[in-house]
Structure 1
């Protein structure tokens, strides 16, 4: 039997595989987080008809060397590689959707083993756990912080739970900060007032008016009132400016908020250090800590993977940190279906870290990463696969004709 026929058969089989990969890429052209595959080929064993020989050395009359004569016996599949270039980001207007900008993978778990994915379509299941909506696997992250409030990445990561239906107790205000400017052109005895909201021990909002009265050039007296009730500032506050900059005070003054509706009286420290006196319109913003009682309304994820519960009173609370995995050789990952990957000996072990660190990209909330399949390239590859299959078919038909001619010699 002609060697060319067997070589062409290997060509037919492997060009069919080439077309299979192209078809799968095109089928997943709109699959979130899908990574295209690429086929590479290699030749297989060659039959050596004659080995190479060296020429005679050191003589001008000797015979020169000859090359080996080898006939190839076909081709084989060298590999099907995964292309991990980033896909385009598509805005979804859904804050639960996340996309990785750069390298890295979301870490998902079924409770016994971890998987890795670029599909960022997430939500909350009935247990309040962050879950991948495509596969049903739970999102993995850290839920432990150090004493300083930093994420403890040395702790064992686990599933992140959003306390749906949970409430946040009220927090009494203890300090307030003012920022802005007092107009230097204001006449002596001129005033400017601003209102700030503080919260008592029961979570009631108390509106406090701060009045700035210009008592002399570069000097302003500060008083506080709650409605018609004058409040006590300890010590009395006079702001003194030099070239528009406030002269620092030895200590922060406090304003005493009286008892009301069963809430005990309390003190709030006032910080005026960020106020200037320039020749522009007076404008002072006063804000305080503390909060009214609230219930959870949603959650948010920042670009570095910080997960926070958002409450109806405007307070957000840290509840977890997403773990992002990176690999020394991501092309060595093994597909598991549902746009999931698993590690292999050739991918290296997963290295977990924060988004935006090392080789890990930042997170884009409200976006999904689409497939990275290049339609133009795939259609071109389809033509190449078709022509390669056609050429190998022609070799088989030609070899068959040659065999037929050989059989006809004895007729």
Structure 2
């Protein structure tokens, strides 16, 4: 009877532990990136009252099975379930979720931690941080992912100016017109704007045109190779056999000391037909200096800086950690995990690489708690607890009857 009572006590303890896990799951039903847990039970060692025996050698008596009495139940495991769940849209640039395997990597400066909760922000120093202040890790665009990641910082980013490298023209030249003028803007190596005027004129040769490049600031800008000729085929398409020279700009006067630039020209997207003239010239590679205005993040975890000069460039690569056994990670609170001896070391790389999930910017991963399942498990745990309490009550009544035998 005492044995059965102690078995009932072990059942109470085990089912209380199950209720603790269920309660924690339900309380985190709306926690960002939360991974639910489950409890499994296992029997405690059984006491052998009579061992098994083999059949007699003479075949006169058969074998017998062992007689064993179990000593109750214990918690076999408390497993973290890393199954996928849905995401909620927030449209906040620094809110990120991972569609697939992997964890964001954050650090307190000494130790690294791992999380599925991508509700990040940028602090006043420009660091990308998790809610607890841990810094999100990544690499600069030119760094190899085999190098240790560092804290991502988007403060004080700037873009130096760049000189224009070429002019690309597109559109149509009206075959019925004789000339057309178009003004373009180019940038020098210091990011200053300069206006150039392209004049297109028909020559006496059929389907042939001549271009001339001039400037209203001839005192300070000297243009070399400022003219040339090009042709169209009989079907109106550009004749690619024509060889266009590069236009050179040399700066003097108030621009003295500025590097000269060479403009490669491309007219291959121009046509000549009876439609209206609608020539468009696009300068390539040139822009003024700019400072960071905002950022965006793409599916591979590239942080892209958007600058006041209208340009953009890659600034950071967000690190994603992948584990052989993510269930072996240790929960440390605040939606964070820590590596353990059974999780293995993390493999760090970009999102979408080698089995890592891609990043969904502007979304957050929801908790994977299934309320219907949790409530069902709660009922089962409650009934199990009640049944084990009945074992104790009944054992107590039997003991009471035994005590009463002496009366």
Give TM-score scaled by structure 2 length.
0.86
1:168 and 2:159 equivalent? yes
Distance 2:227 2:57 in 1: 107
Offset of 1:262 from its aligned partner? 3.4
Render the CA deviation track for 1:171-226: whole Å, top value 9, x for unaligned. Answer: 22122334x5538xx54437777665422344233455656667777655555566
Distance 1:73 1:193 in 2: 98
Structure 1's 117 and 261: CA in aligned 2 closer, same or farther, altered over 3 A?
A: farther
Q: Which residue of 2 aligns with 1:148?
A: none
Match of 2:91 among 90, 93, 97: 93
Answer whether contact 1:240 1:247 (CA < 8 A) is retained: yes
- Count, aligned residues: 399
Structure 1 unaligned regions, length at least 5 = 146-150
Structure 1's 379 and 6: CA in aligned 2 closer, same or farther, altered over 3 A?
A: same
Structure 1's 406 and 143: CA in aligned 2 closer, same or farther, altered over 3 A?
A: same
Moved more, 279-288 or 119-128: 279-288
1:143 and 2:135 equivalent? no
Structure 1's 44 and 243: CA in aligned 2 closer, same or farther, altered over 3 A?
A: farther
Offset of 1:325 from its aligned partner? 0.6
Offset of 1:233 from its aligned partner? 5.8
Offset of 1:139 from its aligned partner? 1.1
Offset of 1:120 from its aligned partner? 1.0
Structure 1's 393 and 305: CA in aligned 2 closer, same or farther, altered over 3 A?
A: same
Offset of 1:260 from its aligned partner? 9.2
Answer whether contact 1:181 1:280 (CA < 8 A) is retained: no
RMSD: 3.1
Structure 1's 399 and 257: CA in aligned 2 closer, same or farther, altered over 3 A?
A: same
Answer whether contact 2:298 2:359 (CA < 8 A) is retained: yes
Give TM-score scaled by structure 1 length.
0.86
Structure 1's 237 and 119: CA in aligned 2 closer, same or farther, altered over 3 A?
A: farther
Match of 1:345 among 341, 344, 348: 341
Moved more, 89-98 or 297-306: 297-306
Answer whether contact 2:230 2:243 (CA < 8 A) is retained: no
Answer whether contact 2:231 2:242 (CA < 8 A) is retained: no
Answer whether contact 2:102 2:320 (CA < 8 A) is retained: yes
Q: Which residue of 2 aligns with 1:32?
A: 32
Distance 1:303 1:355 in 2: 7
Correspondence list, 1:198-277, <5 A: 198-208=186-196, 221-224=210-213, 234=226, 236-241=228-233, 246-249=238-241, 252-256=244-248, 262-263=254-255, 266-275=261-270
Structure 1's 340 and 161: CA in aligned 2 closer, same or farther, altered over 3 A?
A: same
Answer whether contact 1:129 1:138 (CA < 8 A) is retained: yes
Correspondence list, 1:254-403, <5 A: 254-256=246-248, 262-263=254-255, 266-275=261-270, 284=280, 286-403=282-399
Q: Which residue of 2 aligns with 1:15?
A: 15
Answer whether contact 2:213 2:227 (CA < 8 A) is retained: no
SS at match of 1:48: strand
Render the CA deviation track for 1:7-66: whole Å, top value 9, x for unaligned. Answer: 11111111111011111111111111111111111111111122222224685xx22222
Q: Which residue of 2 aligns with 1:116?
A: 114
Distance 2:40 2:23 in 1: 16
Distance 2:183 2:368 in 1: 54
